[in-house]
Structure 1
Amino acid sequence: MKRIVLLLGIAVTMFAQFGMWRGSGADDAPRTQPTLSEIMQQKMLHSQDVLQGLIDADFEQIQSAADSLLSKGIQESIQNVKERTDDETYEHFRLEYVRLSSQLISCAHDKNLPGATLYYQSLVQTCIACHQHLRLDSPKTVQSSRPERSPSMRRFAQAN
């Protein structure tokens, strides 16, 4: 039952993302899609928010940031469908990213801190492995620009 609810949540998120890109009417200003680099920077900021939520045992923050991670992962996959259709390794990492993000959301919902921590660590390992693959595959694919710290990470850095 839990798996069905999780898959339904993923499907709803995917349809919501697709609907937002199509636009809601002729009066809307044209939307510009973020670049891959911008999506990656946003994912980094959301992952920092997950980490801060884990440190504080703030399950709402973990779930909110993990929802954003999942959304960005889906957005990234739709944007890169033309660039990476022949890359089975990238597709593996992308699917694993979506699966781990979903599990992280589920653990946050259940207030399962050890589980959320485990899925977060696995998610980070997957991201690092994917970026290593992309660097080896095409050095220009992954931009090395470092995003700003998230507000929660700035507060943490100032406190220490």
Structure 2
Amino acid sequence: MAADPLTVDAATAGPLGARGQTVRLTIPARAEYITLGRLALTGISRLASFPDEVLADLKLALTEATSNSIRHAYGEDGVGVVEIVYELTDGELAIEVTDEGEGFVPPAESGEPDAMTEGGLGIAIIRAIADEVEIGAQENGTGSRLRFIKKLT
């Protein structure tokens, strides 16, 4: 049995909070690995000193984004990886979740939660928490990309 792919790449450009400070985490596309993404986010929050309530909201948004990626990209088999990129820049944190799977069509941005299809509530939660949300295909045309930004100031 092959080992699960798991990589962490922390590349720092300048002092904490400087433009371009990035942490990249690649996890197996299985729900039990979502915790690693949340732990990395907790570490970043401690270094950047943002409030606990902001951390709690971001953890929820990250969990929803990662769960959606796993479910829609790879289905029940969990074969594949999900990449989470955290970028701390001048007063904001951007989190991007990508996969190489089938992708999905997000619910309409203006949809009310009770009018959404099953599973659409996660995207509504992310949109409520984040200041900016981008959802679509990756630039290379395969898989999905969900990026959300939270202003920290």
- Give the shorter-chain TM-score range: 0.3 to 0.5
Bigger relative CO (Cα 8 Å, ≥ 6 apart): 1
TM-score, length of structure 1 as denominator length: 0.32
TM-score, length of structure 2 as denominator length: 0.33
More strand by share: 2
More helix by share: 1
Q: Which has the larger radius of gyration?
A: 1
